C-alpha cells in the first residue's frame, strides 16, 4: 500500500490531489485550533493572540506543505504568504515577483539610491492588517546618502525577564510600517547569580523571553516577520546598562542606522518611518549637531481623569501631528541614532541613559522629539510607599496611533522661542502637558464642554506670531 502511494506520488495528477487533501487537512486543523483557542479560559489568555502567536500557529500547521517550496519563494512573499494562508486563499504563482526589496545586507555599502532596499514598499505589504486603514508611505530617499553609509535597518532590543511587556513590544514592532525590512538584535541579559537579586528575578518571564526570541529567529529564517532576528542571551548577569551597550554595539556592526528599544517601548505604526526619515531626508547629514531622534514625547501624559478627547482635539487644532522639536537631551524610551554619533560617544558610553543625555548636552548636540509621541512606554511605573503601583510615569494618554492619516505626514520642525532653554520653557510645552490654562488635565476644564475647549485652542493659535505654523500636513 505504502509503495503504491509512493509510486503514485510521481504522477502529477495524484500529486495535486494529495496536495489538495493536505491543504484541506490544514484548513480543518486550523479551524479546530481556532475553536480550541477561542474556548481557552480567559485567565490563560490575558491578551488577544498576538500576531506572532497567530503566525506560529499558522506556520506550524502549514509547515508540511511549505517545506517543499523553495526558500526563495517563502522569503520573497513574507507578508503575502501569511495572509493568503490565514485567509485560506491560494498562494498564487507570482511569488518570485522580486518584491523583497527590504533585505538587509549585512556589512554592505548602501550605494543603491533609487533601487533595491530603498525603493518603494512592495505592494504585498500595503493590503494591510486589520487595523491599518491606510497604505504606509513608501520609503524613498529624498537626498543622497554619503557613499559609505550602510542604511541597513536594524532594531536593537534590550530584554530580560519582563515577558508580558516584551511580547507587546514585539507585537507593536511587527505592526510598524516597514518592520519586515528590519533585522532585530535581541540582547537578553543573563540570570543573576546573587541570591539577593534572585528574589526579584522572574525566571519564568526570562525563560519565556528567551524562548519567544528564538521562535522569532526561527520564523525569520523561514521568511516570516522580520528580515532577520539575532538573539544573544548572556550567560552572566551584566546589568541593564552593560546589556544595553552591547545591544547597541552589536546593532552598529550591522548598520550605520540603528533603532534602540527597551522591553517596554511599544512603537506606533509610523514610528520606524519617523526614525528613517532622518536618514532619507538627509537631515542627519546636513545637520551635524543632530545626534539622535526619539519616538517618545513629553506631551500628553497619561492622566486618571478623562482627558484623551481634549488631547486629540488639541493635536488637531494646534496641527501637532507632523511637528517636532529639537532639544538638548537624549530621551531613552525608544530612539534612533547613526554612525557619526556612535563613533563619537559609543566607545566611552557606560550604557546609562543619563550619560548619553549628558554627552549630547556637553557637545551642544540635539535630539529630535515629535510633539505627538510615535511610541509609548508601557513599563515605567511609580510606586506608593507601600510598594504598590501608583501610576504609569512615562505612559502617554495618546500617541500617533490614535490618529488616522499618518501616511501623509511631512515632518516639520517647530521653531523654538529660545533654543538655549529646555523645551519645558516653551509656551506650547505647558499646553501639551497640562492643557490650556495650565491645569486643564486636572480641574479647570472639568465642567466645560469640548466646544469651549476648541474655542480656547483657536484663540491660542490666533495669538501666535505666525498662526500658519499651526497647520498640519496630516
Ligand atoms: C555608486 O554608484 C555610482 C553609479 O553607479 C558609481 O559611480 C559610484 O562609484 C558608486 N559608489 C560606490 C561607493 O560604490
Ligand atoms: C553575544 O554577545 C557577546 C557579548 O556582547 C559577544 O561577545 C558574542 O560574540 C555574541 N554572540 C553572538 C552569537 O553574536
Ligand atoms: C574615551 O575616554 C578616554 C579617557 O577619558 C579618552 O582618552 C578618549 O579620547 C575617549 N574616547 C572618545 C571616543 O571620546
Ligand atoms: C534664552 O535662554 C537663555 C538661557 O535661559 C537666556 O540666558 C537668554 O536670555 C534667553 N534669550 C532670550 C532672547 O530670551
CB-CB contact of 187 with 232 (8 Å): yes
Distance 297 CA to ligand 4 centre (A): 23
Name the closest-CA residue to atom 5, ligand 1: 111
Q: Which ligand ends up closest to the CA of 420?
A: 4
* Average pLDDT for 373-397: 75
- Report pLDDT digits (tens) over 8-42: 333 444 455 556 656 556 555 555 544 444 444 33
| Distance from C-alpha of 421 to C-alpha of 162, rounded to nearest angstrom | 37
> What pLDDT shows up at residue 168?
96
The per-residue DSSP string of 341-365 comes to HHHHHTTT--S-HHHHHHHHHHTT-
The predicted model gives 386-394 an average pLDDT of 66
- Contact (Cβ atoms closer than 8 angstroms) between residue 334 and residue 395: no
Q: Which atom of ligand 4 is nearest to the CA of 418?
A: 1
| Ligand nearest to the CA of residue 343, numbered in listed order | 3
Q: Give yes or no for residue 298 having a pLDDT over 60.
A: yes
Q: Which residue minimizes the CA distance to atom 8 of ligand 3?
A: 348
Task: State the distance from the centre of ligand 3 to the C-alpha of 345, rounded, in angstroms.
Answer: 9
* Grid cell in block for residue 10: 510521481
Atom of ligand 1 nearest to the CA of 148: 13
Q: Tell which one of 416, 419, 421 to mutate to probe ligand 4, the residue whose CB is within 8 A of the most ligand atoms.
A: 421
**Per-residue confidence (pLDDT) for residue 127, from 0 to 100:** 33
Query: What is the structure's pLDDT at 52?
Result: 52
| pLDDT of res. 130 | 41
Which cell numbers in the block locate residue 5?
A: 502511494
State the DSSP H helix or E strand holding residue 220, giving kind and residue range, or none if neither. helix 203-221
What residues does ligand 3 touch, defined as CB less than 6 Å away? 347-348
Q: Which of 389, 151, 126 is nearest to 279 (CA)?
A: 151
**DSSP for residue 301:** B
Spell out a b/e string for 57-95, using b for 16 or more CB atoms within 10 Å of the CB, else e: bbbebbeeebeeeeeebbbbbbbbbbbbbeeeeebeeeb
The mean pLDDT of 303-323, rounded to a whole number, is 91
Please tell me the residue having the least CA distance from ligand 3 atom 2.
348
User: What angle (nearest 5°) sits at the alpha carbon of residue 203, between those of residues 396 and 170?
Assistant: 40
Q: What rounded mean pLDDT belongs to the chain?
A: 77
The answer for residues whose C-beta is within 8 angstroms of residue 313's C-beta and 6 or more apart is: 450, 453, 454, 457
Mean pLDDT, residues 269-286: 97
pLDDT single digits (tens) 419-450:
777 777 788 888 888 888 776 676 678 788 89
Would you say the CB of residue 232 lies under 6 angstroms from ligand 2? Answer: yes
Q: Supply 394's cell numbers.
A: 512615562
Confidence at residue 420, expressed as pLDDT on a 0 to 100 scale: 79
Is the CB–ligand 2 distance for residue 246 below 6 Å?
Answer: yes
The residue to mutate among 245, 344, 348, having the most atoms of ligand 3 within 8 angstroms of its beta carbon, is: 348
The pLDDT of residue 62? 43
Helices 78-87, 51-66: axis angle to 10 degrees equals: 90
Amino acid at each position: 500500500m505504502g509503495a503504491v502511494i509512493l509510486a503514485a506520488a510521481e504522477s502529477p495528477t495524484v500529486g495535486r490531489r494529495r496536495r489538495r487533501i493536505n491543504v484541506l487537512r490544514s484548513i480543518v486543523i486550523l479551524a479546530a485550533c481556532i475553536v480550541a483557542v477561542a474556548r481557552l479560559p480567559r485567565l490563560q489568555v490575558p491578551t488577544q493572540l498576538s500576531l506572532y502567536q497567530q503566525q506560529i500557529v499558522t506556520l506550524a500547521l502549514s509547515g508540511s506543505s511549505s517545506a517543499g517550496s523553495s526558500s526563495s519563494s517563502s522569503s520573497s512573499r513574507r507578508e503575502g504568504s501569511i495572509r493568503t494562508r490565514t485567509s485560506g486563499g491560494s498562494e498564487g504563482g507570482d511569488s518570485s515577483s522580486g518584491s523583497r526589496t527590504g533585505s538587509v545586507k549585512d556589512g554592505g555599502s548602501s550605494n543603491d539610491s533609487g533601487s533595491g532596499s530603498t525603493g518603494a514598499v512592495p505592494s504585498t505589504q500595503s493590503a494591510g492588517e486589520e487595523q491599518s486603514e491606510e497604505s504606509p508611505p513608501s520609503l524613498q530617499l529624498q537626498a543622497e546618502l554619503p557613499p559609505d553609509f550602510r542604511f541597513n535597518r536594524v532594531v536593537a532590543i534590550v530584554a530580560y525577564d519582563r515577558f508580558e511587556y516584551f511580547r507587546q513590544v514585539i507585537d507593536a514592532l511587527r505592526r510598524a510600517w516597514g518592520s519586515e525590512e528590519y533585522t532585530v538584535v535581541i540582547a537578553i541579559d543573563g540570570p543573576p547569580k546573587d541570591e539577593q537579586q534572585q528574589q526579584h528575578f522572574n525566571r519564568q518571564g526570562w525563560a519565556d523571553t528567551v524562548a519567544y526570541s528564538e521562535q522569532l529567529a526561527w520564523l525569520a529564517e523561514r521568511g516570516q516577520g522580520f528580515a532577520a532576528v539575532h538573539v544573544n542571551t548572556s550567560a552572566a548577569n551584566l546589568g541593564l546598562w552593560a546589556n544595553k551597550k552591547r545591544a547597541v554595539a552589536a546593532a552598529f556592526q550591522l548598520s550605520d542606522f540603528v533603532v534602540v528599544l527597551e522591553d517596554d517601548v511599544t512603537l506606533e505604526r509610523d514610528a520606524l518611518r519617523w526614525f528613517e526619515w532622518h536618514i532619507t531626508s538627509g537631515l542627519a547629514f546636513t545637520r551635524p549637531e543632530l545626534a539622535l531622534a526619539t519616538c517618545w514625547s513629553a506631551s500628553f501624559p497619561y492622566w486618571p481623569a478623562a482627558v484623551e478627547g481634549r488631547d486629540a482635539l488639541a493635536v488637531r487644532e494646534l496641527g501637532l501631528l507632523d511637528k517636532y522639536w529639537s532639544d538638548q537631551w537624549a530621551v531613552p524610551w525608544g530612539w534612533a541614532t547613526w554612525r557619526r554619533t556612535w563613533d563619537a560617544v559609543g566607545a566611552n558610553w557606560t550604557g546609562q541613559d543619563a550619560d548619553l543625555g549628558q554627552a549630547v548636552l556637553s557637545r551642544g548636540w540635539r535630539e529630535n522629539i515629535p510633539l505627538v509621541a510615535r511610541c509609548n512606554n508601557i513599563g515605567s511605573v511609580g510606586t506608593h510607599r507601600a510598594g504598590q503601583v501608583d501610576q504609569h510615569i512615562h505612559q502617554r494618554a495618546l500617541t500617533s496611533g490614535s490618529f488616522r492619516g499618518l501616511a501623509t505626514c511631512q515632518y516639520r520642525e517647530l521653531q523654538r522661542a529660545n533654543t538655549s532653554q529646555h523645551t519645558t520653557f516653551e509656551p506650547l510645552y505647558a499646553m501639551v502637558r497640562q492643557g490650556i490654562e495650565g491645569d486643564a488635565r486636572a480641574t479647570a476644564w472639568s465642567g466645560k464642554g469640548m466646544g469651549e475647549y476648541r474655542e480656547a485652542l483657536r484663540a491660542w493659535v490666533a495669538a501666535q506670531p505666525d498662526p500658519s505654523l499651526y497647520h498640519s500636513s496630516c
